[in-house]
Chain A
Amino acid sequence: MLKKMLRGALFAGAAALTASAANAADLVLYTSQPTGQMEEVLALFNEEHPDIEVEMFRSGTTEVLNKLQAEIAAGNPQPDVLMIADSVAMEQLKGQGVLQPYSEADTSVLPEGQYDPEKHWFGTKLITTGIIYNTDAGVPAPSSWKDLLAEEAKGQVIMPSPLYSGAAVIHVGTVTQQDGMGWDFYEALMDNDAIAGKGNGSVRDAVSRGEKAYGIIIDFMAFAQKNDGSPVDFVFPAEGVSAINQPVAILSTAKNVDAAKAFVDFQLGQAASEQAVKQSYFPIRAGVAAPEGYPDPATLNIMPLDAAALMTSTDELKRKFADLFGG
Chain B
Amino acid sequence: MGERAAAPARRSKTIFSGFSGEQVMLAALCVYVVGLCILPLLRLLTEIGTAEPGTVADVLSSRWTQGAAWRTVEASLGATVVSLVLGVGLALVLGLMQLPGRAFLTFLVLMPMLVPAQIAALAWLDLTGPSSVLLGAVGLAPPPGTRNWLYSREGIILLMGIEHMPIVFLAVRAGLRSVPADLVEAARIAGASTTTVISQIILPLLRPTIIAGGALAFVAAVGNFGIPAILGIPGRYTMLTALVYQRLSGFGPSVLGEVAVLSFILALIAGAGLAVQALSQRRARVTLTIVGGGLKPTDAGRLGLPVTAAVLLVLVPASILPLIALLGTSFVKALGVPLSADTATFAHYLTVWDNQAARRAFVNSAWLSLGTAFVSLVVAVPFAWFLTSGRSRTARLLDGAVDAPYALPGIVISIAFILTFLRPLPLLEVSLYGTAGIILIAYLARFLALGVRPVVAAFVAQDPALDEAARIAGAGALTRLTRILLPGVAPAAGAAVLLIVMSAYNELTVSALLWSRGNETVGVTVFNLYDEGNTTAAAAASVLAVLVTFVAAALATLLARWLPRGVLPWQA
Contacts and interface: CB of A to CB of B under 8 A. Distances in A.
Most B CB contacts (10 A, CB to CB) among A63, A74, A210 go to: A74
A232 to B, nearest CB: 12
Interface in B1-20: 2-3, 6-7, 10
Interface stretch (B91-99, B456-464, B500-508, B511-519): B511-519
B254 interface: yes
Interface in B242-259: 246-254
B538 interface: no
B371 interface: yes
Most B CB contacts (10 A, CB to CB) among A6, A197, A198 go to: A6
B501 to A, nearest CB: 14
A5 to B, nearest CB: 8
Contacts of B50: none
Interface in B481-527: 482, 516-519
Interface residues of B, number: 53
Given A35-B532, A66-B250, A75 B424 contact: yes
A70 B434 contact: yes
A163 B64 CA distance: 15
Contacts of B430: 75
A23 B519 CA distance: 12
Contacts of B532: 34-35, 58-59
Interface in A37-87: 55, 57-59, 62-63, 65-67, 69-71, 73-76, 78-79
A24 interface: yes
Contacts of B364: 20
A315 interface: yes
A2 interface: yes
A16 interface: yes
Given A16-B367, A20-B364, A211-B147, A66 B6 contact: no
A211 B357 CA distance: 33
Contacts of B443: none
B516 A163 contact: no
B251 A66 contact: yes
B374 interface: yes
Nearest to B62: A323
Contacts of A71: 434, 516-517
Contacts of B6: 2, 6
Contact of A66 (B233, B252, B360, B478): B252
Contacts of B67: 326
A36 to B, nearest CB: 8
B434 A74 contact: yes
B247 A1 contact: no
Contact of B518 (A1, A6, A20): A20
A69 B252 contact: yes
Interface in A144-164: 161, 163-164
B247 A327 contact: yes
A57 B519 CA distance: 12
B308 interface: no
Contacts of A208: 145
A66 B517 contact: no
Interface string B139-176: 00000011100000000000000000000000000000
A17 B147 contact: no
A70 B10 contact: no
A209 B253 contact: no
A28 interface: yes
Contacts of B250: 62-63, 66, 161, 163-164, 318, 322, 327
B433 interface: yes
Contacts of A67: 516-517
A126 interface: no
Most A CB contacts (10 A, CB to CB) among B10, B238, B251, B431 go to: B251
A189 interface: no
Contact of B246 (A16, A74, A327): A327
A2 to B, nearest CB: 6
Contacts of A17: 436
A84 to B, nearest CB: 14
Given A9-B374, A17-B436, A326-B238, A66 B482 contact: no
A255 to B, nearest CB: 12
Contacts of B238: 326
Nearest to B516: A71
Interface string B180-207: 0000000000000000000000000000
A101 interface: no
Contacts of A74: 422, 431-435
Contacts of A16: 363, 367, 371
A19 interface: yes
Given A20-B518, A66-B252, A73 B433 contact: yes
Nearest to A19: B363
A79 B516 CA distance: 11
A268 B6 CA distance: 59
B378 interface: yes
B283 interface: no
Contacts of B533: 35-36, 201
Contacts of B431: 73-76
Contacts of A164: 249-250
Contact of B356 (A25, A58, A73, A197): A25
Given A6-B3, A326-B64, A209 B436 contact: no
Given A55-B356, A70-B252, 15 more contacts: A9-B371, A20-B518, A25-B356, A35-B533, A35-B534, A57-B357, A74-B434, A74-B435, A78-B516, A78-B518, A164-B250, A210-B145, A318-B251, A319-B251, A322-B64
26 contacts: A2-B478, A6-B3, A16-B367, A20-B363, A24-B518, A28-B517, A57-B357, A58-B532, A62-B250, A66-B248, A66-B252, A67-B516, A70-B433, A70-B434, A71-B434, A74-B431, A75-B424, A75-B430, A75-B434, A76-B434, A78-B516, A195-B236, A209-B146, A211-B147, A315-B254, A322-B250
Q: Which 7 A-B pairs have the closest CB atoms?
A: A163-B250, A66-B252, A74-B434, A16-B367, A74-B431, A74-B433, A209-B145
Interface of A: 1-3, 5-6, 9-10, 12-13, 16-17, 19-21, 23-25, 28, 34-36, 55, 57-59, 62-63, 65-67, 69-71, 73-76, 78-79, 161, 163-164, 195, 197-198, 201-202, 208-211, 315, 318-319, 322-323, 326-327
